[in-house]
Amino acid sequence: MISIITAVHKQLPMNRLFLQRLRAASSLPFELIIIDNASGDGSAEFFEAEGVRVVRNPANYSYPHCQNQGIALARYDWLAFLNNDIIVSPGWDQTLVTSMERNGLEVATCCGVERVETPEATQRLKRRWQRIRGLVSLLGTQEHHLRWMHRWMYPNWAGFCRERQKRFEGQTLQGFVGNTVMIRRSALAKIGLWDERIQAADFDLYLRTATRARDHGDIRPMHIVLDCFVHHYIRLTMKGGYPPFADRDRLMALDDKWGDADRALLEGAV
């Protein structure tokens, strides 16, 4: 059983596509908790009509604050923190859990356009996505345009994902791709909740697992699971901009929290 936590602000067409693909591709039972940051475009109502648990915030809050809101409500041992602007691969959840258990990981992410097995392979994916995004995004971000972009990027999505699962079964790479993060509850006892002062939360989470591994040796640093691929639209749906975070006064830069020696652990992780 998995608790999936997703924060949203507007993006109703993407939210529709996200939920439809999530339900079709997930193989394990899950609960979905949506943290709605005053969308006002019908997103909260859409999720509620679909039977999803929705937390309605009165304003737009930072990513880590929203994730902690979700944790407070989550019922299960596996906690998945998913961006709403993604399309998960068939069986993504079982693949991710299996690889984490096989590799002794309590914190991991899927791979994706941002990073796969080598810099060369990553660059090829990025270039293809940039060409497709640049062409189709001129038409807008309506749901059917989002579907077209994904179809042109991966003419055979199921086959693409299946080939990766076969080729990279059980393989991982130290680092992170922050749009899909899986955490076991046992990890929270070691590294704590998301730090609500840091909007660059995936960087912070990686550094917390890496320093904990270095100083205590009771957890492995965050890894990327190479046989679980998730497509990320990468800010395509953010063109309209976001209002300032309601909790912006307490946010701080990553460099203000971590010293040079600790930040050096990021080398090679991104």
The pLDDT value given to residue 236? 67
Does residue 261 fall inside a structural domain? Answer: no
The pLDDT value given to residue 239? 57
pLDDT 10s digits, 84-114: 999 999 999 999 999 999 999 999 999 999 9
Does residue 206 fall inside a structural domain? Answer: yes
Does residue 268 fall inside a structural domain? Answer: no
Give the domain extent around 101: 2-254
Q: Structure tokens of 152?
A: 């042109």
- Average pLDDT over the chain, rounded to an integer: 94
Q: Check whether 138 has a pLDDT greater than 80.
A: no
Does residue 74 fall inside a structural domain? Answer: yes
Does residue 259 fall inside a structural domain? Answer: no
Does residue 267 fall inside a structural domain? Answer: no
Cβ–Cβ < 8 Å for 175, 206: yes
Cβ–Cβ < 8 Å for 99, 247: no
Share of the chain above pLDDT 70, in %: 97
pLDDT 10s digits, 66-84: 999 999 999 999 999 999 9
* Sign of the Cα pseudo-torsion (50, 55, 58, 59, in order): negative
The pLDDT value given to residue 137? 64
Does residue 264 fall inside a structural domain? Answer: no
Over residues 6-23, the mean pLDDT reads: 96
Number of domains in the chain: 1
Does residue 80 fall inside a structural domain? Answer: yes
User: For residues 185 and 192, what is the distance between their CA atoms, to the nearest angstrom?
Assistant: 10
The pLDDT value given to residue 243? 81
The pLDDT value given to residue 237? 55
Q: What angle do CA 73, 74, 76 make, to 5 degrees?
A: 155
Please report, for the domain that includes residue 239, its CATH number: 3.90.550.10
pLDDT 10s digits, 184-207: 999 999 999 999 999 999 999 999
Q: Structure tokens of 234?
A: 């990468």
